[in-house]
Amino acid sequence: MSKRIGIYPGTFDPITLGHADILRRGSKLVDWLIVGVTTNPSKNPMFDTAERLAMVEREVATLGLGNVEVVSFNALLMKFAKMQGASVIVRGLRAVADFEYEYQMAGMNQQIDDDIETVFLMADVSLQPIASRLVKEIALYGGDISPFVSTQVRDDVVARVDEIGRKGDY
């Protein structure tokens, strides 16, 4: 019997407590979960791919998940999933807006390869408002991001904001 391999793709810029929740829960659904750290041309990343990869690897190690591997990729998701031998794509949902986008993506992905299923996990209620984009914005304006990310990620983001400079009146 072959292993059930899943892919949890994202930019993880930065990885949040919401991502960690989906990662932890998604790892229970498959034998092996690959966290695919990718780039998204429509997003303006605060961290480069190598930095995000290291950040996610550190968070996975902290969670103590023995069936999770972190890999960077820069390819069409379904091609990457096929190359990894995956049969499942794991996606987290926070709100209706997420569902509409993810539903469309799942439909397109199914058209590309209908052997790979997309599984949606609802974010924990306490974590639903968290978005990497908002975490970065809060940090850039000098706000406290500790409720949304781990201590180590908070330190990474604060250090980056110190490098690039805060915005707004403070």
The residue from 43, 79, 133, 166 that is catalytic is 43
Q: Is 43 a catalytic residue?
A: yes
Residues 145/139, Cβ–Cβ less than 8 Å:
yes
CA count, 13 A, side-chain hemisphere, 63: 25
Task: Let me know if 114 is exposed, middle or buried by CB neighbors in 10 A (0-12, 13-18, 19+).
Answer: exposed
Residues 52/59, Cβ–Cβ less than 8 Å:
no
- Which three-class secondary structure state does DSSP give residue 69? strand
Which pair of structure tokens corresponds to residue 148?
A: 């949304």
Q: Is 132 a catalytic residue?
A: yes
The residue from 4, 58, 94, 160 that is catalytic is 94
Question: Could you count the other beta carbons within 10 Å of the beta carbon of residue 39?
Answer: 15
Q: Is 94 a catalytic residue?
A: yes
What's the CA gap between 153 and 46, in Å, rounded?
Answer: 12
The residue from 52, 91, 132, 154 that is catalytic is 132
What's the CA gap between 113 and 110, in Å, rounded?
Answer: 5
Residues 113/81, Cβ–Cβ less than 8 Å:
yes
* Catalytic machinery residues: 19, 43, 94, 132
